[in-house]
Structure 1
């Protein structure tokens, strides 16, 4: 089960900044989402997630 985060942490840690949005240019659908999730997780933890359970449910689509 993925970790639960509050709204403040979600906005502060998982929102993309303008320059990060530019990195997503040209990507579509699942590739775009996956890249964004990996980028933000790496910024927070200095590594990539070992599995889906490390990503908060509210930061990923249903």
Structure 2
């Protein structure tokens, strides 16, 4: 993800829509900001951040303002617990994705056939 964002880009890519806000409404504190950032990051990048500091501060601040949260709470969001796992599942389902399976990996692998000449 790029590091520097202009206001018009933040508005275009990180504005929380009413249907997205419904997913966020029941969360509080660091969980609220963490979930919202994951949601918008996934929507824009088609993946989750690999670590919390991958998300630029300007993006966090813009999202925090929309959900009436303090951007500083984002640092407290737990990246190793059950909550983030559940949040990722909720976000994937919201966008119609699912986690890869072993079978997906098998299907993606090329098959080679040996031919004798």
Aligned residues: 61
TM score, norm. by length of structure 2: 0.48
Higher Rg of the two aligned structures: 2
Structure 1 runs, 4 residues or longer, greater than 2 Å off: none
Report SS of the residue matched to 2:40: helix
- The alpha-carbon deviation at position 17 of structure 1 amounts to 0.3
CA distance in 2, matches of 1:31, 1:49: 16
The RMSD of aligned alpha carbons is: 1.6
Counterparts of 1:32-51 in structure 2, within 5 Å, are 32-51=32-51
Counterparts of 1:13-52 in structure 2, within 5 Å, are 13-52=13-52
Q: Is the 8 A contact 1:4 1:57 kept in 2?
A: no
Q: Which blocks of at least 5 consecutive residues in structure 1 are unaligned?
A: none
CA distance in 2, matches of 1:4, 1:53: 14
Q: Which blocks of at least 5 consecutive residues in structure 2 are unaligned?
A: 61-70, 73-117
